[in-house]
Chain A
Amino acid sequence: MELSKRTIKGLSYLQNVNVISDETFGKLVEITISHVCEKPDAISVSQIYGSKPDIIKAVFADLTILLVEAGRHSYDKEKLSNYLQSVQISGPRIDKICESYSKYRTTIKRCLENIGTSLPHVVDVSWCLDYCIKSNTENSVGMPLYHIRLSTIKQSETIFLKFTCTTQQLQELVYKLKDAVRHVEKIANT
């Protein structure tokens, strides 16, 4: 994990009791976590501005950055506090932040997992076997045909992928799939 100097400087404001009171601090952490977990609740940041809105805004942003980055690197509580110590930020308030982070760690990670671009996921397959008797070019074809429908999910949207293939083509596909499975198993075993 890496944070810029500006963010670290902003986080060091959190230690200052004169700038941010205990009550404001608790609310700030709560609000930040609720926003990172994508569950914004009733309290908005503007209600805790007090006399220093610019600092509260900056600290709110820096705290958000810290939590998001920690979640991105899958840090646990220990690792996070170690990191903060290594950039010379420590104290009872930081411990509190680490505690809240470890409490919401899985939620933050899940929220982050949901973001991004990915290839469609194949989740299901349905098929049926047809027998082609005749076609306009051939009097007797006599060939089995597989109709395959793959259900894929992309951005929580189900997309169906339909195609028709002969037995040989299907066999080739199955071999390729088996090959892929073998590769994955090889990765799992190393």
Chain B
Amino acid sequence: MEEVDNIIIHSLRQIGCDVEDNITNLSGFQTELVIDATVRCLNIIRPGLGLSTVLPENMTARFRLGAALAQACLDLGYKGDIGYQTFLYSSEVDLRRVFMFLIEKLPKECDKSLNEPTSRIALLEKSIASTVAKDLSSSWLPPYCHKQGPHCRGRTTTAYNSIELDLPIAGKDEDFQNYYIHYQRPINEQASNQRLLPSVISHNARLIYGKPTDILEKLDWLNEQKEEFGEAVHENQEILSRFTLNERLQFAKDNITEEKSPFTESPVKTPVGVSLTKEEKQELAVENAKMECETLRNTTEELQTEIRKLNVKLAQLTTTRQAEEKELAVRQEQRRIKARTYDLLPDGEENIKKLEAAIEAGANKLIHLANQWERHRGPLIEKYRDERAKYSSKASASQKKVDELKILRDREQELLEELRNKDQQYAQLMADVQKLPKEINRSAYTQRILEIINNVRKQRDEIDKVLADTRKIQKEINTLTGRLERSFTVVDELIFRDARSNEASRKAYKLLATLHSDCSELVDLVEETGATIREIRDLEEQIDSESTKNVGANLERITADLKQMKQETAILTAQLQNKNS
């Protein structure tokens, strides 16, 4: 029982019971300790029972607490005999049984750690829980002591103010490059110190998730997409610049109209003013200058429109000129041919023949050249085809290799992901291991358990041996009784046959009968003694078990408690009477 007690005490210490070091078995448990340990166990098994761990002074309260504990144990499924006396007037055996039951019911820690989830949400929840727990456990400090650390967490000092950052973008044209190199300021100068970090965060988010809103950005975005596919996009950039031009023009017009509105009022004002002070004169001068400016601008605009018109006209004229020049060239060619024909006309026959011969010769030469061309062309085309086939096979092989490479990349990515997950799991498990209580006793316990198992096995072997012996003896007894029976009947018959004639035989028969009955009596007696001895042993065991329950001491305690209760009752009645009188 030593081992069982050790295990029980160890488990109780683990759940936070204050078991003193010099208590090594359950017989040393005081009533207070018993109540404390039981309540702690019950609270862990079924939280929310709301029992107090402190033994109350009052007898009736004690009795009620004991009864409640017994009821809780019964609710949990305890099968043995249990009542308030089990806890208040404890006997070692009952206590051991109750504690073994309770400790078996305690939730195991390994159950918890096994089905710990590793998903992202669960991890987040866990980290939130641990952070909140840490914050809850930290003590209160007056606000002027808050400098750093957990007290300041979540307390911001600067607002989130971000501005749009302007960063170099690769692949812009030369003007942009020039701007990036000479005029663009680094981000720390674009955003002041407190705004730098928010701006950086916003910028990154915009880069990742941003969707273009106005047409320029959309075009930029489109350009980028094309760049990614490796295509040249000069046309779009031109379009872009045209767009910007348009916009600028629009803005300029707006400005002009805005500026116009105050000037329309000014001429009305001037005649009203009677005396012109210096300032007014100046103002007038400025306004005049502005007017002049305005008129000049208007004239410029007019001139510009005129220039544009003239340009259009010029373009038209150039196209007509070009068309006419072309016509002229055609006409000249016709004229040349006709002149030649007129030259040849005088002796027509001769000339026709000559021309035919020349045509013949030309045709022959052409055929010859075609043949020669064919001769050269054939092998070259052959060669070209060969090369092409070679190239395509090479390309397909390289494509295959590229595919393979891609697959390998993917694989690598997957493996990396897996590795990361495994690392995470490993770290978590390591943390869990460190969180677990360091159980030095575990190996000792397993050794002890193994020893106990060995002992049990040995004892079982011995029991088996004894049983086999008993069975053998029983068999022997049975065969002996059988033989006895048979020999007796044989002898009985023989002597009985002779007994009619022979006097001695008759005597012998009588003697045989008495011998038989005496012997059977003896056997009966022996059996009876055996039964009695067994009974005696049973009784002795019972006495032992009763004596372990230390009834005497418990009885004394019960009587003392009864006396106390009576006293309390008497005091209460006295108080009642006092109040009544």
Contacts and interface: CB of A to CB of B under 8 A. Distances in A.
Contact of B157 (A46, A65, A123, A156): A156
A2 B155 contact: no
Interface string B174-215: 000100111010111000011011101101100110000000
B371 to A, nearest CB: 59
Interface string A108-130: 00111111111001011000000
B204 A68 contact: yes
Given A54-B177, A112-B197, A158-B143, A188 B136 contact: yes
A57 B207 contact: no
Interface string A67-80: 01100100000100
Given A86-B416, A184-B132, A65 B203 contact: yes
A110 B148 contact: yes
B156 A118 contact: yes
B interface bracket (residues with beta carbon within 8 Å of A): 35 or more
Contacts of B543: none
Given A124-B142, A124-B143, A155-B156, A7 B207 contact: yes
A82 B418 CA distance: 12
Contacts, number: 129
A115 B187 contact: no
A115 B204 contact: no
Contacts of B154: 113, 118, 121
A61 interface: yes
Contact of A117 (B159, B168, B186): B159
B277 interface: no
Interface stretch (A14-22, A32-40, A134-142, A171-179): A32-40
A72 B201 contact: yes
Contact of A123 (B143, B187, B198): B143
A155 B158 contact: yes
Contact of B207 (A6, A68, A124): A6
Contact of A54 (B148, B184, B208): B184
Given A114-B156, A184-B136, A153 B143 contact: yes
Contacts of B193: 35, 38, 40
Contacts of A188: 129, 132-133, 136
Nearest to B167: A61
Contacts of A124: 142-143
A123 B153 CA distance: 12
A3 B156 contact: no
Contact of B181 (A54, A72, A155): A54
B68 interface: no
A127 to B, nearest CB: 15
A52 B160 CA distance: 33
A60 B207 contact: no
Nearest to B177: A54
A169 interface: no
A60 B125 contact: no
Nearest to A74: B127
A55 B186 CA distance: 11
Contacts of B67: none
A73 to B, nearest CB: 11
Contacts of A45: 186, 188
B200 A9 contact: no
Nearest to B185: A57
B536 interface: no
B169 interface: yes
A4 to B, nearest CB: 4
A187 interface: yes
Interface in A67-112: 68-69, 72, 78, 82, 85-86, 110-112
B165 interface: yes
Give the interface residue-count category, chain A. 35 or more
A116 B165 contact: no
A64 B200 contact: yes
B102 to A, nearest CB: 23
Contact of A57 (B143, B158, B168, B198): B168
Nearest to A31: B188
Contact of B156 (A65, A68, A82, A113): A113
B153 A113 contact: yes
B197 A36 contact: yes
Contact of A190 (B129, B142, B160, B207): B129
B155 A65 contact: no
A115 B186 contact: no
A134 B204 CA distance: 64
Nearest to A187: B132
Contact of A115 (B142, B170, B184, B198): B198
A101 to B, nearest CB: 15
Nearest to B126: A190
Contacts of B473: none
A121 B143 CA distance: 10
B420 interface: yes
B175 to A, nearest CB: 13
A183 to B, nearest CB: 10
B470 interface: no
A174 B157 CA distance: 29
Contacts of A82: 416, 420
Contact of B204 (A7, A38, A113): A7
Contacts of B129: 187-190
B146 interface: yes
A158 B143 CA distance: 10
B413 interface: yes
In order of increasing CB-CB distance, the 7 nearest A-B pairs are A4-B207, A54-B180, A123-B143, A188-B133, A188-B132, A45-B186, A156-B157
28 contacts: A6-B170, A9-B170, A36-B196, A36-B197, A53-B180, A53-B181, A54-B168, A54-B177, A57-B180, A57-B184, A57-B186, A61-B167, A61-B187, A64-B187, A65-B203, A65-B204, A78-B423, A110-B148, A115-B159, A116-B156, A117-B160, A121-B155, A123-B146, A155-B156, A155-B159, A156-B155, A185-B136, A188-B136
Interface of A: 2-4, 6-7, 9, 35-36, 38, 40, 45-46, 53-55, 57-58, 60-61, 64-65, 68-69, 72, 78, 82, 85-86, 110-118, 121, 123-124, 151, 153, 155-156, 158, 184-185, 187-190
Given A3-B204, A82-B420, A113-B154, 13 more contacts: A46-B186, A57-B167, A61-B167, A68-B201, A85-B416, A111-B197, A114-B158, A115-B197, A117-B159, A118-B155, A124-B143, A188-B132, A189-B129
Interface of B: 125, 128-129, 132-133, 136, 142-143, 146, 148, 152-160, 165, 167-170, 177, 180-182, 184, 186-188, 193-194, 196-198, 200-201, 203-204, 207-208, 413, 416, 420, 423
